Structure 1
Amino acid sequence: MSKTFTVKEVAEHKSADKGLYIIVDNGVYDVTNFINEHPGGSKILQRVAGKDASKQFWKYHNKDVLKKYAPKLKIGEVKEEAKL
């Protein structure tokens, strides 16, 4: 079952000890164990950890990359937050 996260909860996961989470199109991905496998290097993932990386992701990847890695890395979705 997929978990839901707030943007604030994802933002707390931006270091190796707390885990490295990124958001791509409202999907939340745990890239902690993928960081050393990332073809573009670990620094790129560390730079976007805890943030919405959709813009950066789509600049360098196509939908097939997301399809390939989503089953392994996707841990949930960002839930809609009330706008005040």
Structure 2
Amino acid sequence: MSKTFTAKDVADHKDEKNGMYIIVDSSVYDITNFLDEHPGGAKILKRMAGKNATKQFWKYHGKTVLDKYGGKLKIGELTETAKL
């Protein structure tokens, strides 16, 4: 049921046309339909789309936010890729 994504897969989803994904920890979230609901506004989500937002997410949010919204936004997990 859970899909796996590479960092490149996520990077390809950085606009509303292709969908907007972010990474938090090792999970991938589709934030495309969450833009208007985000209390901090859509601008910051658009800026982070296609990227690893872990540092920024935890700077401004607690675990309760992920518990509240994560279930409906999570679409999969980030796969590990070999580093050469």
Both structures adopt the same fold (TM-score exceeding 0.5): yes
User: 1:49 is matched with which residue?
Assistant: 49
Percent sequence identity over matched residues? Answer: 69
Give the drift of 1:70.
Answer: 1.2
1:19-34 paired onto structure 2 within 5 Å: 19-34=19-34
Instruction: Structure 1: state its 5+ residue gaps.
Output: none
Give the drift of 1:44.
Answer: 0.4
Residues in 2 aligned to 1:19 and 1:28: alpha-carbon distance in whole angstroms? 12
Give the drift of 1:26.
Answer: 1.0
CA RMSD, 1 decimal: 0.5
Instruction: Structure 2: state its 5+ residue gaps.
Output: none
Give the drift of 1:83.
Answer: 1.6
Equivalenced residues, count: 84
Give the drift of 1:10.
Answer: 0.2
Moved over 4 A (4+): none
Structure 2 length-normalised TM = 0.98
Structure 1 length-normalised TM = 0.98
What letter corresponds to residue 56 of structure 1 in structure 2? Q
1:1-84 paired onto structure 2 within 5 Å: 1-84=1-84
